[in-house]
Amino acid sequence: MFTQSLADLQESCLLRKLHRTESAQDAEVTIKGKAVILFSSNNYLGLANHPKLKEAAITAIRKYGFGSGASRLLSGTMSLHEQLETRLAHFAKTDAALAFNSGYHANLGLIQTLTQELSPHGLVLADRACHASLIDAIRITKSRFKVYQHQNTKQLKQLLATHTESEKTSSLVITEGIFSMDGDITPLPKLLTCIEQSSSTLLVDDAHGIGVMGATGRGTIEHFNLEAKIPIRTGTLGKALGCVGAFVAGPHDLIQILINRARSFIYTTAPPPAFAAAALAALTILEAEPERREQLWRNQHYMLSNLKSLGYNTMNTESPILPVLIGDPSRTIQFSQQLYERGIYAPAIRPPTVPRGTSRLRISMMATHQQAQLDYALDTFRDVGRSLGIIT
């Protein structure tokens, strides 16, 4: 029935497949019996397999069982959920926070609610490179929606000015803290100036910034010291924090309205209490072991500077996400496959995840990568890149 679609995907080198990992999430994993060094995980700080996080989850399961049994508004809100939300608000330096089953759910619920409540006739503007969960969320609101070119605050400013003049309604502007496929940091201070001039609302999805950016790992907003000025954000617990689930942090009333309106919060089973226990442990580790973040950044600098010296185009990354631009999907896959044969897992990222002509390898750095693993990876990148004629 789907043979033609699948054949078309195969033909254009866009067919995707699942890769089964058979070991715990670490810097080296076993994929279908083969040991590979992992460069594709968002487990930036190595917390996914941290003993304290595992212990916290096991203890919670012993005490509370596994399932939550119901949605949050029925009987699924357990004391651990509340403890986590209090802790997240403290972490984000906001009045309140609300946990969601995933970042995808958080974005759906938040954007649906914000457009309904703030600007039912307003315009939604998003950076062109925004994550699919943000784009899907905007689409289901049926709001008027425009994208601006990636990181183009000048264009954003123009769009906001034209809109505010003609319609006198405020807009919602959506960006990521760290862009998930490019690795670049959003110039939040500049964006904030645009927003303030047009009295619009800014939403920052900091999925890749939480745990990674800022002096204490509170994210991109901390990186720019803008915590008092950017009141609304989403963050995931599934990436640097090594858990699953996500949160919205913001003013008290926003959180209350989300509890009442956000469909992706209301109409789903509450995440298990052990998830909250693990996330609480992750937040504690984040505070107690800053050396993890320091090591992550040392690894990032080492890998990035050496990839650049080899002659690779790493775009404008300033984060542990290192894109290696190739362009064409078939060469990108070839590159990724040859790395894989040599024990390096760095996935090929192709359209529709990234724009046409910008297929790339995407290397994710972790604090737990060992120096020898980085050196082996760089040697392999040099050899494979030369043999494919990507570098000289």
Active-site residues, by number, are 42, 131, 176, 180, 205, 208, 239
- Residue 200 interacting with ligand PLP (CB under 6 A): no
Tell which positions 319-348 bind ligand PLP, by CB under 6 A. none
**Of 131 and 223, CB closest to ligand PLP:** 131
**Of 198 and 358, CB closest to ligand PLP:** 358
Tell which positions 94-123 bind ligand PLP, by CB under 6 A. 102-104, 107
Note the residue count of the chain: 392
**Of 60 and 241, CB closest to ligand PLP:** 241
Shortest spacing between CB 182 and ligand PLP, in angstroms: 11
Q: Which residues pair with 178 in a beta bridge?
A: 185
Scanning 90-98, 141-149, 203-211, 304-312 for contacts with ligand PLP by CB under 6 A, the matching segment is 203-211
- Residue 133 interacting with ligand PLP (CB under 6 A): yes
Q: How far is CA 265 from CA 76, 97, 168, 268, 270, in A?
A: 12, 13, 31, 6, 8
The residue number with the shortest CB distance to ligand PLP is 103
**Of 72 and 131, CB closest to ligand PLP:** 131
CB contact at 8 A, 203 and 232: yes
- Residue 207 interacting with ligand PLP (CB under 6 A): yes
Shortest spacing between CB 179 and ligand PLP, in angstroms: 8
**Of 40 and 380, CB closest to ligand PLP:** 40
Scanning 4-12, 204-212, 297-305, 342-350 for contacts with ligand PLP by CB under 6 A, the matching segment is 204-212
Binding site for ligand PLP (CB under 6 A): 102-104, 107, 131, 133, 176, 180, 205, 207-208, 236, 238, 246
